[in-house]
Amino acid sequence: MNPTQPTWMEYPPSLSGRDCLHLSEYTPQEIEALLSLALECKEKHKRGEVWQPLLGKTLAMIFDKPSTRTRISFEAGMAQLGGHALALDRNHLQLGRGESIADTAQVFSGLVDGILIRTHRHRDVEELADYASIPVINGLTDLHHPCQALADLLTLKEVKGNLTGRKLVYVGDGNNVLHSLAEAAAHTGMHLVAATPPGYEPQGSILAKAKEIAKQTGATITCTHDPMEAAVNADAIYTDVWASMGQEEEKGKRERDFEGYQVNETLIKQGKPDVTFLHCLPAYRGLEVSREVIDGPHSVVFQQAENRLHAQKALLMMVLG
């Protein structure tokens, strides 16, 4: 195939030039197009096809938080698509000396084709997008993790096929991963049940947006404090760390508060016989998940991690193309 004439041009161009700050900005049809393109990316990659629709494009990546899967998936993805990625941190930018986000956004807009940012405050990403004239992609904030959710959907689609009507159970902290997972489930017609300890529920305003999307697809989103009840007849069970980056000082308290919320063999047996286990990684065996589950036959966590590459390639092609 001639890399200058990619088949992805057949996909709807509605995301071209747009930001990806959270998945509620997109429509179910746009999410479906992203997943279809991600599957095509993966198939071509496995066949060793050279596919370079982003030849000459540059992505600036700002990291205020440590990163393994986000950095590698975007950096490798840009290279495979013929583009280039610049990995930067605040201390190596004038941001670290007090230059405003607004000025940084406008400078970047004249130098590169897109910005990926992984940071703490979601408002900082929104401000960057407000002032940038190029697409801004949220690589993780305290409120949202849309790139992870796209890989989650891709993995579930590979393992389960049609996602409509599937029961997806999340056990653990009502954090950024759950927020984006709720939006992802709403877009694809899944029934999400979130089981969190009291005081660790997801943010109500974000769930409200997801429920508005759910009205279009027949999805449902419910919350409970009972993980065993939530897991009954689950098609997939998902968890995340109990203490995210920046919450290390709360680790001891959280371990006490999350007692009874570990995804172990007893909880897994509540799901369907072919229940799938997901985790965005890194994982702490013996805390949020038992070793028997994450390293057992139900786990697809490394397929999920690999799919970060292909989901992110699809996103890059759609917003930078």
Of 80, 148, 262, 312, which residue is the catalytic one? 148
- Is residue 240 flagged as an active site residue? yes
Q: Does the annotation place 29 within a ligand binding site?
A: no
Written as six digits, the tokens of 112 are 């590169």
Written as six digits, the tokens of 291 are 């070793």
Q: Does the annotation place 318 within a ligand binding site?
A: no
- Residue whose pair of structure tokens reads 């990684």 in the numeric block: 281
Of 22, 118, 179, 187, which residue is the catalytic one? 118
Of 240, 298, 310, 312, which residue is the catalytic one? 240
- Is residue 312 flagged as an active site residue? no
The CA distance from 321 to 298, in Å, is 37
Of 22, 122, 144, 145, which residue is the catalytic one? 145
Q: Does the annotation place 245 within a ligand binding site?
A: yes
- Is residue 118 flagged as an active site residue? yes
Of 280, 304, 310, 312, which residue is the catalytic one? 280
- Is residue 303 flagged as an active site residue? no
Q: Does the annotation place 118 within a ligand binding site?
A: yes
Q: Does the annotation place 176 within a ligand binding site?
A: yes
- Is residue 29 flagged as an active site residue? no
Q: Does the annotation place 70 within a ligand binding site?
A: yes
Q: Does the annotation place 18 within a ligand binding site?
A: no
Q: Does the annotation place 146 within a ligand binding site?
A: yes
Q: Which DSSP string do the residues of 22-86 spell out, in sequence order?
A: -GGGS-HHHHHHHHHHHHHHHHHHHHT----TTTT-EEEEEESS--SHHHHHHHHHHHHTT-EEE
- Is residue 45 flagged as an active site residue? no
Q: Does the annotation place 308 within a ligand binding site?
A: yes
Q: Which DSSP string do the residues of 274-310 spell out, in sequence order?
A: T-EEEE-S---BTTTB-HHHHTSTTB-HHHHHHHHHH
Give the phi and the psi of residue 70 in degrees, each rounded to 5. -65, -50
> From the annotation, which residues make up the binding site for L-ornithine?
176, 240, 244-245
Give the catalytic positions in this structure.
Answer: 118, 145, 148, 240, 280, 308
Binding site as annotated, residues for carbamoyl phosphate: 67-70, 94, 118, 145-148, 280-281, 308
